[in-house]
Each structure stands twice: as structure tokens, then as C-alpha cells.
Amino acid sequence: MLLNWGGISISRDEVILYAEENGIATLTLNRPEALNALNKAVLEQLSVHLDNIKRNTDVKAVILTGSGDKAFSAGADIQYLNRATPLEVRDLAMLAVKVTNQIESLGKIVIAAINGFALGGGLELAESCALRIAVNEARLGHPEVRIGAVAGFGGTTRLPRLIGKGRAAELLLTGKALSAEEAYHFGLVNRIVAAESLLSEANELLQEILSHSPLAVNLTWEAIHRGGNLTLEESALLGADYFGLIASTEDFREGTKAFLEKTKPAFKGK
């Protein structure tokens, strides 16, 4: 069965739905009957879409969300994990790590629009995004220890960097799930919105970001992403290098000139 989304015909059998409008691509995890649980097919299709988006100059930013009104993603498919061999489990984790790295290093801002449960591997996908917006009803957490597992899709790495080692340790070691309000206070989500305005809020935030120089935006995100893996001094020096690099662009000259003249800059991404 086919449905039409933004002028694009998409099969309901697809586990990732793709739509594109006004330079923003929306990727939707599409296994609502399984709370958008992550299996090999989901991760492989997501990886292909991310590769295509990286090459597509028409796409300036991305929204990642889930199908239905219950879950962004409830995490890795536990039915599969229960019957898989250790090497198959490791292969799935390696694929997930590849996908989260693709999201983080896409060269374009990705927002996770969390429409419900974001647990385990689902939360790890969201953690690799630049920003996270959640509905009031969302629940976020890492329940892996409760089933005798480890957050192996990047959670033990990214969560401490997002909210601090102590708070991350509490969540990872207890398996506790946070309400959207708690996640906001922990710094895990940037905004809480009503369910009916989730995608419009994500689009509005991206349009605000995209109104600035795309070169400055992408270099800023790259400095944040890459700088997190460096010492404080190395990270600061990276920022200084990028500041010098951006000064070679037309956008830098346009922006500084517009500031001095008190006019609105017309950025060209050059």
C-alpha cells in the first residue's frame, strides 16, 4: 500500500519514511507496531538515507522522529536480541554506532523530535543529534541494565557528555526513565512541546538556525562535536582555527558589514 507524503509516494512497508520540504528532510522510524524498535533493517535503511542526505545539497537540515503517537523508539528489538548470537548482537551494535556517528558528523544539523518513548538504543539515536525536542508525554531512559545489557549504541559515551558523569551514571546504572520535564531539567532535551506542534516547533527551530550563515552554523556544530573529544586547550585552539577559517568566507564579510551598517545580512553560504 502506498501513501503520499509531501508529494512523495512511500510504501507503508518501508521501515524509514522520508520526506523533504523547504530544505529540511524528515526521517521517520516506521515500525509503530513494535514501538519503532531498532533492528538491522531500520538501521541499514537509516544509514542509506543519511548517506544520501549528506550528498544532497538541497537538504540543509534534518528532523528525526518516530511513527505513531507512542514512541520515538523503544530501543533495540529485544525479540531479536533474545535469539541472536553474541556476534550478531555485536554486529547490530556496530551498525548502530555507525549510524549515530553518521548523524553526528553529517555536516548538517539534526533535531530529534521525540514523540513518545525514547529508550535504550532509541535514546542513543536522539543523543547523537544536535538538539532534542520532546512532547509532554515523552519518557526517556536507558533501561539496558534491567535486562542484563549495556548501552552499547553510544549511550555510555554521549550521555555523560550531554548531562554530566554523575547524572549519566545514575540513569545508566539504575535504568530509571525520566519524564520530559525531568529530562529538560537534566539538560537532556532542549524544549518540551505539545504533541500536535512537535514537528512545527522542530521546523521553526531549524528555520531559525538556517537563517544564519550555513558555513558558520556547520562549523560551529563541528567545533562542538569534535571539541568534545579533545582537551580543553585543544578544543579552544580548534575554535580559534575555525574562527580564522570562517573569516575567509563571503558570509563573514557580509555579516560583519551588515552589523556595522545595522542592516540584515544576506548570507549566501560562500
- DSSP per residue over 160-181, as a string? HHHH-HHHHHHHHHH-PEEEHH
- Closest by CA position to 68, among listed 39, 41, 28: 28
Domains of the chain in sequence order: 2-210 (3.90.226.10), 214-261 (1.10.12.10)
The yes-or-no answer on residue 182 being catalytic is no
Q: What is the mean pLDDT of the chain?
A: 92
CA–CA gap between residue 78 and residue 38 (Å, rounded): 9
Q: Is residue 3 predicted with pLDDT exceeding 80?
A: no
Residue that is written with C-alpha cell 554506532 in the block: 97
CA–CA gap between residue 95 and residue 125 (Å, rounded): 12
- Mean pLDDT, range 28-45, rounded to an integer: 96
Q: Is residue 140 predicted with pLDDT exceeding 70?
A: yes
Q: Which pLDDT does position 225 carry in this prediction? A: 87
> Among residues 20, 104, 127, 144, which one is catalytic?
144
Cα dihedral 10, 153, 120, 27 in deg (nearest 10): -20
Residue that is written with C-alpha cell 540513569 in the block: 171
How far apart, in Å, do the first and last CA atoms of the chain sit? 43
- Stretch among 25-34, 167-176, 193-202, 246-255 having the lowest mean pLDDT: 246-255
The yes-or-no answer on residue 144 being catalytic is yes
Q: Which pLDDT does position 227 carry in this prediction? A: 86
> Among residues 20, 104, 124, 201, which one is catalytic?
124
The tens digit of pLDDT for each residue in 5-34 reads 344 334 456 999 999 999 999 999 999 999
* pLDDT interval class at 270 (50, 70, 90): confident
CA–CA gap between residue 177 and residue 143 (Å, rounded): 7
Q: Which pLDDT does position 230 carry in this prediction? A: 86
Q: Which residues pair with 141 in a beta bridge?
A: 119, 177
Q: Is residue 113 predicted with pLDDT exceeding 90?
A: yes
CA–CA gap between residue 127 and residue 209 (Å, rounded): 19
- Mean pLDDT, range 76-98, rounded to an integer: 95
Q: Provide the percentage of residues in the chain whose pLDDT is more than 70.
A: 95
Residues 105, 7, 134: CA angle, nearest 5 degrees:
45
Q: Is residue 137 predicted with pLDDT exceeding 80?
A: yes
Q: Which pLDDT does position 8 carry in this prediction? A: 39
- Stretch among 9-23, 40-54, 133-147 having the lowest mean pLDDT: 9-23
In this structure, which amino acid lies at residue 144? E
Q: Provide the percentage of residues in the chain whose pLDDT is more than 90.
A: 84
Q: Which residues pair with 192 in a beta bridge?
A: 134
Q: For residues 69 and 28, is the Cβ–Cβ distance under 8 A?
A: no
CA–CA gap between residue 207 and residue 204 (Å, rounded): 5
The tens digit of pLDDT for each residue in 201-243 reads 999 999 999 999 999 999 999 999 888 888 899 999 999 998 9
